[in-house]
Homo-oligomer: A and B are copies of this chain.
């Protein structure tokens, strides 16, 4: 069972749809149980066979085996602190990018630990953290009619977490998972997302990345 923490946003909803479509059991988590249930209903309206329900974040984290974090960066630290005991030693896949989007300007916020994923590891010392899904366009992910033509680079220090994240990514049609080395490399995933956002704004696109030659 996979929990999508902060799963009512576009990224979380997109992952819920794609992973439910692939047959995974999903709990969408939110600070508000009502909004989590509404989000689950929206997934079921699109995919009637989906095994998906909504719950408050803590309940979602408690019940799931794998925790995918898709909160906005502003809520990253606080959310993970609140969930620490529920997550315990589980696999955590952090998809959060510390971006600040201003008018005509995209900034990567400085993160003391080096990256949001490394911050997650510090806040959840027992958990096994991997970074993934930073480069998948959330709008394309949430649009089941859109073909995803994307590589998902996975960084992590724990082999099980990395394997779990790579396997999950490859359940999504059109996605290839690539080993991106240790968790310290997550900063480069997050920085590269800034480039994607810049290109999307200029080209009015919903772009993802393919690494050619691998």
Interface residues of A (CB under 8 A from B): 106, 108, 137, 140, 149-150, 153, 178-181, 185, 188-189, 191-192, 194-196, 198-199, 201-203, 205-214
**Which of B137, B188, B194, B201 interacts with A213 by CB under 8 Å?**
B137
| Contact (A207, B198) CB under 8 Å given A191-B188, A192-B191, A192-B192 | no
Residues of B within 8 A of A180 (CB): 195, 198-199, 202
| Contact (A211, B202) CB under 8 Å given A180-B195, A188-B195 | no
Chosen A-B contacts, 29 in total, with CB atoms closer than 8 Å, are: A106-B185, A108-B188, A137-B213, A149-B212, A178-B199, A178-B203, A179-B202, A179-B203, A180-B198, A180-B199, A181-B198, A185-B195, A185-B198, A188-B194, A188-B195, A188-B198, A189-B195, A191-B191, A191-B195, A192-B192, A199-B211, A205-B213, A205-B214, A206-B213, A208-B213, A209-B210, A210-B210, A210-B211, A210-B212
- A192, B203: Cβ atoms under 8 Å? no
| Contact (A213, B202) CB under 8 Å given A191-B192, A195-B189 | no
Q: Apart from A185-B195, A206-B213, list 12 A-B contacts with CB within 8 A.
A: A106-B185, A153-B195, A179-B202, A180-B198, A180-B202, A188-B195, A191-B192, A191-B194, A196-B211, A205-B211, A207-B214, A210-B211
Docked complex Cα distance between A179 and B199 (Å): 8
Which of A150, A188, A195, A206 has the most B CB atoms < 10 Å from its CB? Answer: A195
Docked complex Cα distance between A212 and B153 (Å): 15
- B214, A199: Cβ atoms under 8 Å? yes
Residues of B within 8 A of A149 (CB): 212-213
Q: Which residue of B lies closest to A213 (CB)?
A: B207
Residues of B within 8 A of A211 (CB): 196, 199, 205, 207-210
